[in-house]
Structure 1
C-alpha cells in the first residue's frame, strides 16, 4: 500500500510487481483463470499437479519456485488447491484485455455537438498524446479528454468506439455521484474548478480519488441534468440523456436549454433553469455540489 505518493514506496509494492516479471508466472495465473472459465465457477481451485501440467516448466522445483513467488498476493493456497486472489484476477483481466496498452491509432472523426466556447458545430474526435479527445477545430478548445485503452477499440467500428466512450463517461459520472472512483473504487473528494479558453469560462465539478489520485472533471450542468426531475423532463420529450454523449450534451448548454447562474464564485453555488418546450424546471446547487428543486 502506498499511503503517501510523496513518501518512500513500500517494499511490498516493489516485491509484488517484481513477482509478475516472468512469463511462467503469468502462465500460472492464466492457467488458473482458464480453469475458472471452463468450469464457470469463481475461485475454482487446481491441485499442484494439475497446475504443473498446465504450465510448460522444465521441473517441479522450478515450477514450485515460480508458484511460491505468486502465493499470497496473486494466488491463494487452500486445502483444496490453488486459486486466484482478487489481485491475481485483476492482473489476468489486464493482460488478456490489453487494457494496459494505449490505442496506437484512431481515425479522426467529426462528431455532432457544438463547442462550449465558440458555439460552432465543429467538433472532432481524435487521438492525441495517447488519449481520446474531443476538440473544436474552430477555436482549438479541448472539450473532452479520456483514457483510450486498446481494448476499447478492438472489434469496434469508429462509430461504435465513439458510442462506447459516451457511455463510459456517463458510467464514470454515475459512480462519482456515489462517491466511488471509477478506476480503483476508492472514495473521492470533490471540488469546483474553472476551465477558461479565449476569455470565456465554464465551471467544472472535479473529483479526485483519495487512493489513486485520478481526477475527473465534468461541467456542473451535467450534475443538474442528472437530477431525477430533469431526466424525467427530457424523457417526456423523447430524449434519453444516458444515450446522449457528453459532446452532444453541450448543445443543451449553448442553446440555453440549460441556463446556469453562478451565485457565488467563492464557494460555487449556482442556480439552473432547464427549459424544454416552454416547460421550465428551476434547480439550485449548494457548495457541496448537491442539486435540489428551487421553489
Structure 2
C-alpha cells in the first residue's frame, strides 16, 4: 500500500462524496453540474463543487457531456453494493442434501463474518469455504450451499486463469501437501493473497472432464462439489498429483503438475 492508496481512501471519507458517486452510478448518462447537485440535494454550490473536485480525476471524469464515473469510481460503488463494508449478514446453519465424501456424515451450510462454508457436522471437515460478499447470499437463504459453491468455483476459475480474485494481480500456482493430500495453491504476485484447495478442484472445468460427464448424460458444472464422490480421490505422483474422475463406474485420470497445469494421464 502506498501514499496514493491513503489519498484515495481519504477522498471518499465523506458522506457527501459517497452520495455523489452513488448518483453518478444510478444515472443513465453523464450529468451536468447543476443536475448532479440537484440529485445530491446540496444547496451550497461552493461546498458541492469542493467535494466534487476531490473526486474528480481519480473517481469522477468531467467530459463535454457532464460528469461520469471512472472505472475506479465504478469499482468503489460496486464494492459498496456488495455489502462487504456495510452489512453484517448471517445465515444458517441450514441442512445440505448429500453426505461428506470423507466420512459419510451429514452436511450443513452457514454464512457469518463474511465467510461461507459447507461442512460436515460429524468430522468437521470443511468441504467448501471462503470469503463471500453479503450481496451474494442475499435472497439465497433457501439455497445457501449452492450459492457458496457457485461463488467459490468462480474464484477457482479466476485463479486458474492467472489473476487474483481480490486485486486482479497475476497469480502463480504450485502444489503443496497437507493432511487431505495434494493441495493446489495460488499466490498473488501483487497483493500476496493465497488461495488453497484440494488439487482436484482444477479438474472441475477441464475440457476432458466436461466431455466425460457429457458422454454420460450429465453436467459436472451443475454438480455441487460435495456431490462429486471422486473429489477427494487425489494421490501424489512424484512432483505431480493424480486425480481420478469416476462417473457410472468409468474412470478418467488427470495429472496436475507442480505448476498446476492439468492434462489427461
**TM above 0.5, one fold?**
yes
* Distance (Å, rounded) in 2 between the aligned partners of 1:253 and 1:162: 17
Pick from 98, 113, 132 the counterpart of residue 116 of structure 2.
132
Structure 1 unmatched runs, 5+: 3-9, 37-43
* Distance (Å, rounded) in 1 between the aligned partners of 2:249 and 2:89: 47
Contact 1:103 1:149 in 2 (8 A): no
Pick from 21, 31, 37 the counterpart of residue 46 of structure 1.
31
Displacement of 1:59: 1.1
Distance 1:260 1:30, change over 3 A: closer
Displacement of 1:129: 4.5
Aligned position for 2:23:
31
Calculate the TM-score normalised by the size of structure 2.
Answer: 0.89
* Distance (Å, rounded) in 2 between the aligned partners of 1:120 and 1:278: 19
Contact 1:285 1:291 in 2 (8 A): yes
Distance 1:34 1:114, change over 3 A: same
Aligned position for 2:230:
252
Distance 1:253 1:59, change over 3 A: closer
Aligned position for 2:237:
263
Contact 1:126 1:132 in 2 (8 A): yes
Displacement of 1:103: 4.4
Aligned position for 2:219:
240
Displacement of 1:102: 5.2
Pick from 141, 151, 165 the counterpart of residue 125 of structure 2.
141
- In the TM superposition, 1:1-295 aligns within 5 A as 2=1, 10-36=2-28, 44-101=29-86, 103-117=88-102, 119-159=103-143, 161-196=144-179, 201-249=180-228, 251-253=229-231, 259-264=233-238, 268-294=239-265
Contact 1:102 1:130 in 2 (8 A): no
* Distance (Å, rounded) in 2 between the aligned partners of 1:132 and 1:123: 13
Displacement of 1:116: 4.8
Structure 2 unmatched runs, 5+: none
Contact 2:245 2:252 in 1 (8 A): yes
* Distance (Å, rounded) in 2 between the aligned partners of 1:102 and 1:149: 9
Displacement of 1:225: 4.4
Distance 1:214 1:113, change over 3 A: farther
Calculate the TM-score normalised by the size of structure 1.
Answer: 0.81
Distance 1:55 1:277, change over 3 A: closer
Worse-matched range after superposition: 24-33 or 135-144:
135-144
Count of aligned positions: 265
* Distance (Å, rounded) in 2 between the aligned partners of 1:102 and 1:193: 35
Displacement of 1:75: 0.6
Distance 1:225 1:12, change over 3 A: closer
* Distance (Å, rounded) in 1 between the aligned partners of 2:25 and 2:246: 52
Displacement of 1:121: 2.7
* Distance (Å, rounded) in 2 between the aligned partners of 1:138 and 1:32: 50
Cα RMSD for the two superposed structures: 2.2
* Distance (Å, rounded) in 2 between the aligned partners of 1:206 and 1:113: 27
